[in-house]
Structure 1
Amino acid sequence: MADRIKGFPPYNIDAVVKIGGSLMQQPERCRALIAEIETLACEGHRLLLVPGGGLPDNAIESVDATYPLSPFTAHHACALAQDQTGYMLADSAFSTRLRPCSTLGACRQAIADDAVPILLPSQILFHMDPVSWSWDITSDAVAAWFAWLVGATRLVIVTNVDGVFLNGAVSDPAQRIAWIAAADLARLGHTSIDACAADFLAGKGLSGAVLNGAHPERLAAYLRGEPTIATEVLAQAPTTMAPATSHPAEVAS
């Protein structure tokens, strides 16, 4: 968290957790992930959740594949899809402490009330217009921008694979990258995290991780500073990349 400046109260957010829309295809696993997030909040972790587009976004992409949408339509529809996924995740069918928030002030209040804010990003995106109207920008990049905006130092991309893999070989555990500098991750292009998000992390000096939401304990381990199965994205790294058999702390030592 950045140093406090008089007259500018902090949002008190330690990490932004982007919940990939793909996880909504397995509702029970999604509920288990949210339960773990709520436990982490009880431990004192101050988290802001940013939803992916999920099922509504899939419908938009399906239409676009046959009848290409204008950038204006695609951008605005996908932002609203994130809102819809956020509302569903905050519903009592999935959670007990998540609170949907459409402003950052509401997020700050939710944390003060011991709730877990899940951001409905469309209105902020529409009013501030911070990202390109392009399919290159996904909810990963949106989450990275919000992490920077609220002063969080870490971004966690929770998706349906175990991290970032060399050559996209997600079925080969030996190809998982244990950790990588954000700038080098951006040079890999679109992987388990979009290239714009990785480039933004590098440009703003943010770190983070990409991990599998089907194993909620991995999110908990990462936030607690424990080794786990993930790809850690480092703002500064002693070397640019390490295989799955190593951990940043081991190299740093």
Structure 2
Amino acid sequence: MSISKILVTAASGVLMASSLTTFAADTVYGNTFTAGSSSTTESIAGTTVTFTAKTGPDLDNLTNGKFSFKPGQDGYQGVGVSPIKGSDAHVGEIDKHEWIIADFSDARVVSNLTLGLLFDGPEYNDHHETALITVTFFDDTVSTFSLTAIGESTATWTAPFGTVTNLSPASYDMGGVWSLDNPFGDNAVKSFALTSPANVKQSDFTFYSVTAVPEPSSYAMLALGLGLVGFLSRRKANRLYA
């Protein structure tokens, strides 16, 4: 086989491998988790992500919890956490000392994160409810950001990137659903953890969905493959008509 054919074959392989994942933007919905399970592994954007329900005071002191649900509002139903044993007055919510942790098996960029049941009060005697999101990037740096409902259709997001959109007003019998587009920028993540702050009274929420795409380097690989195939094709055509 000639060198040019080898290069074409290699470039085509790069192109095919990249195209299988690069254009895949997948969404995982919390309402598909199995109630009572402590973890579930889902396929997302060409890799796997394991979601785990945990309870405990902080990320270094956790035990297994279980996924639980409450009726959806305004057509939105997310997933919460309950203890493995004992009663729980807040089934289907992520309260203080309750966590949902997502661990990615390969680098992925979170393009959207949607959370529900974040209210600004006084619908459930809750006021300015906050979701804490701790993310571990693929360079092992760790950051914690917060999403706080400050009105029926307004919320604050403390990260330097991302856009908050209200999908359902945070009023009684409605969803209080908030969409975070590009919440961590174009930075690939290893994991993220969702919990409520321990120092905010009655703050709670649900995990609705997450959408992920391959990291930017995958797009660079695809562009390289396309460019190499185009270059070799033009070179072959020039030889034919020389």
The alignment's TM-score, normalised by the length of structure 2, stands at 0.27
Point out which structure has higher relative CO (alpha carbons under 8 A, 6+ apart).
2
Which of structures 1 and 2 has the bigger CA Rg?
2
* More helix as a share of residues: 1
* More strand as a share of residues: 2
